[in-house]
Structure 1
Amino acid sequence: MKHYKEPIFRLLAVLLGIALALASLEAALRTAAWLISAAQARANPQPDPQDRNEFRIVTLGESTTALFWSKRRDRSWPGALEKKLNAAGLGRTFKVINLAQSGTSSPFQTAEFLQQAQALRPHAVISMMGINDWVPLEYLRQSGLQSLRIVKLARWLRRRHPKKTISDSENGRIIALLKDRLGDLAAASPEATRTAKKLAYTLAAEERENDWCALSWASHIFYNAAARMAQKGGPGGAAAPQVRELALAAFELAGRALKLNPLSPRLATYLVYPAILLSDEDLGNRALALLHAAMDEGLEPDPALLTLLAGINGLNNPKMNAIVKERGFRLNYSQSYFMITMFNYRRLAAAARERGIVYLAMQYPTGNTAALKNLFSSIPKTGYSAFRDSIYDTFPDQNILPQYQDIIFIGNENFKKFTGDDLYSAYFTDQFVQGTGGRFGHATSVGHELIARNAAGTIIANWPEISGRPRDPAR
C-alpha cells in the first residue's frame, strides 16, 4: 500500500509547490506594481477627493472627442473646455480627463468609465458617444482569472518581439506601388500627393527600407485619399475604380507594416478600414488572416480594433470571439445597435448617479438634442437600426424617466448653420458619417472650440445646481 501512496504524495507535493510558487509570483508582481504606482503617484499626484477646490470632469467618446487630428491637448474640445472653465471665475480649479479613444464604441466607453471611476473620482462625466455603435457587444466584466498579474505576464512573455525585415525586392515593389498611385492621389488631394512623393523618396533611402512607421504613414495617406474621394461622390462613389485602387494600396501597405511590427493594434486597424470602405468580403477575410498571424506573435486587439472588426463580421470569428469574452464582453445579436446604445447610455447614467457624479450627455454636432433625450424617455422611439439613424428625427411629447431627470443635456445644434459648402470646411475636416445620413465629421480646431463653448456655456448656466449636488466620488 505504501508503495502506491508514495507517488501520489510526491505528485501532491509537486502541485502544492507549483501553487505556492505561482502565489508567490502573483504577490511579488502585485507588490512591484504597487511600488511603481506609489512612485508615480509621488511624481504625479492623483486627484485628492478632499481637495474642495479641484473639480474633475471625465470625458467619454470616440474620435470626435479623442486627440484624433492633433497631439495638442488644448486643440481638442475637452482641453479647450478646461481652459474656458478655469477662465470663467467659478471659484474652482477645473481638470478635464479625456478617456475618449478613436474608433471605439459605447460598450467600451462605458466599461472604461466603470473601471476608472474609483481611481479618478470625478465630480462630473460628459459623454458624446454612440455614432460608432455598429457592434452587438455587451459589457459584463473581466473575469477574475484575466485580472491576475501572472496571466498578464504570460501574455506578455508570449510575444516574440521579433525584429522584422523585408527584402530589397519587396521594398522596391512597395515604392513602385506608391509611385503608380500618385496620379490617383493627385485627383484626391494635392497635399497628399506631395506627402506621398516625399514618402517614396524616404522609403527608397537604404536606412529606411524596413521602416514600418513610414509604411503605416503611407497607408494612412492612401486610405484618407480614398475616403475623401468616396465622400465627394461622383461616378461610382466608393465603388469608383480610383477609390478602389487607393484603398487597395492602403491595405497592401498596412499589411506590410503589420508584418514588420505585428504588435501594433493601430496598424491592425489600417488593415480593416479599406475593407469596410469597399464593403469587400474577400478583403475582409484577408485582413482577418493577417490579424490572426499577428495575434500568434502577440498582438493584443484594443477596443478600437474590436469595434472595427464588426464592420467585416470579424467578431463572429472564433479567435476574435474568444478575445471579446476574455475582455469581459459578449456578443448579443438579439438587440439592435440602437438598443445597445440606449442600454449603455442608461448604464452610464445609473453608474454616475450611484456614485454621486453629475452626468452631462452631449449630442453630436448638428444633431437634435431631443434625439439624445429619447434614450432616457419613458416611451422611447426605438425603431432605428442604430443611434446615428435617429439624431435628426423629431420627438414630440417626450417624458424622461424620473431616475434620469437629473441628467444635464448639452446641445450642438448651432452647428447646423455651418453645413453649407462655403462654411463646412472651416468646422469639419471630413464627412465620415455622410454615408449614413450624418451631416458632420471630425472637427477642425475651430469646430472643437465651438463644441467646448457649448459645453462650457451649459456648465456655467447650470453651475449652481452642479456645484450644489450631494456626491460620493469615493465610490
Structure 2
Amino acid sequence: MSRLISAILGCAVGVVALEIGLRLTGLVFVELQKQRNALPTGSDGTESVRILCLGESSTAVGGKDAYPHQLEDLLNENGPAGLRFEVVNAGRPGIDSSVIVRDLRKNLDRWNPDIVTVMMGINDGMHSFVDLNQYRRKPIWRRLLLRIKVYRLGRYLAISFGALDEQARQERHLDEREKNYRRAIADRGEAMDSIVLAMLYRRQDRNDEAEEVLLELIARQPIATAHADLGQLYQDQNRLEDAERHYRAAIERFRGYQPAFRWLIRLLRYLGRDNEIEPLFDDLLAAGADARSYVEVAKHHRGDGRLEKAEAAYRKALEIERSPYACTDLGSMLLDMGRIEEAEALLRAAVAMVGAGPRSRIELARLCMRTERLDEAERLLVDAAAQAEHSSPLYVIARYSWDARPLDPYLAAVELARIYQHKGDRESARRVIDRIEPNRMTFHNYQRLVDKVMARVGRLVVIQYPVRTLAPLKAMIPEREGVVFVDNERVFKEAIAREGYNALFIDHFASDFGHTTRAGHTLIARNTARVILKELFATTLP
C-alpha cells in the first residue's frame, strides 16, 4: 500500500514539475521572441516596420482606397524619422474568424510582420462552413483542464500523431462536398448546384475556380444569380469594370431581378458616381419592386438626408407589406425627427408582429427613454438582450437580402446600461454589459489569435468595427502588454451626424454599419495610425 501511495505521489510531483517547467519555458520563449522582434535596420540606416492587416471584406475590399493602403501612407508621412512602414493587406472577402485563425501561421511565415492588425467577427455564424457547435460554452472542468499545460502538451502530441487531426478532417469534409456538387452538376445540371459550388470555392480563396464555375453556368444557363454572384466575385477582387458589366447584364436580361440593382447601386456609390444612382432606383421601382426594394430606396434617401422622400418610400413599402422591418425603420427615422407619437405607433406595431426582432424593441426602448419612461424601456431592453443572445444566426442567401445579420446583443446591453447610468446605478450598468456574452466563435478565435500573434510577433492592434462600442472586444481580450485597441465608435457617429450615412458606407450589411467608402476607410486608417504611433512609437498623429 505504501508503495502505491509513493508511486502516486511520485507521479503527482512529476506532473507538477513538468507543469512548472513548461510554464518557465514559455516565459523564456516569450522573452526571446521580444528580442527577435526588434525592428530591423535597413542599409540606409532606416528601420523597416512591416504591418500585416487581417480581416474580411471590411479590410480587403477597396484597392488603394482600403484602410491598409491609406494606413501605410499616413504612417510614412507622420511616423518617427528613420522609420519606413510597409503595410500588407491580407484581408479576404467573405471569410469568418475561423479562416483568419486557420491561415494565421501561413500569413506570419510569409510576411514576417513586426505588427499585426485585425478586424474580425462580423461574419461569424453567417454562411459559416465550420461546425459552430465547437464554440458552445464548455463546462467549467473542461475550461480549467485546458489551462493546464501538461494536458495541452498531451493533446498537442495527440494531434501531431493524427488522433485529433481536425485540419485534415475539415479538408476531407470540404473535398467531399466539392465532389458531391461536381457530381450533381454533371448528373442534373441544376443551376443552384453551380452557385453553391462557386460559393464554396470563394470561401477557400479559390477564386479562379469559382469564376470558371460561374462562367460555365452563364454559358450553359444564363440565370440572373450567376451574373450577380460573378459581379460580386469581381468586385471583391477589385475588378470593378467586370463587376459592373455583369450587374448590368443581370439587369438587362432579367428586369425583375432586384438584387442586381442593389449591388450595382452599391458599386456606383463606392465609385462616387452618385448621379447614376437615382435613375437606377427609378428603373428598380419600374421593374415591379417589392416592399424590400422600397425600403432600400428609403434608406438611400435617408442616408442623404432627404427625409421627405425617405418617408414616402417607407409608406409605399408599408402599403405593399406591413412588415416589422419597414415599421421599425420608419419608426426609428420619425423618432430621430422628433415625431414621437407617430414613431411610437409604428414601433409598437412592429413589436407586436410575428417575426419582430430585437431591434424593434431597442428602438421602442429608445423612444421610452426620450419620454422618461425608464421602467418600460428597461423591460424592453431586457427582452431584446435575451432575444438577441439566444436567437440562432441567420443563414440567408445573398440574393434575398444584402444586410440580413444577427443582431449583436451588445446593442441592447449598451442601451440598457445607459438607463442604469441615468438612474445613477453604475453597478447595474457594469453588470448588464458583463452579462451579455460575445459570440462564442468570435471569442474563441480572438483568444487563439492573440496567443499566436503575441508569441510570434509581440505587437497586436485590435480594431473595432465602425460605430460599434469597444466594450465587447475588451471583454474578449484580457489586458496585455503589446495589445492595443482602436475605437471607431465616436468618430463614425460624429461623421454620420455631420456628413450623412451614405458619405461613409455603401450598404447596410451589418445593420448598424456597412462596407465603407473611401472616406470611411480614411477614418479607420487615421484612427489606427493614431493608436499605432501613440501606443507603439510614443508619437502623435497631427
TM-score by length of 1: 0.47
| Greater RCO structure (CA 8 Å; 6+ sep) | 1
Return the structure number with greater helix share.
2
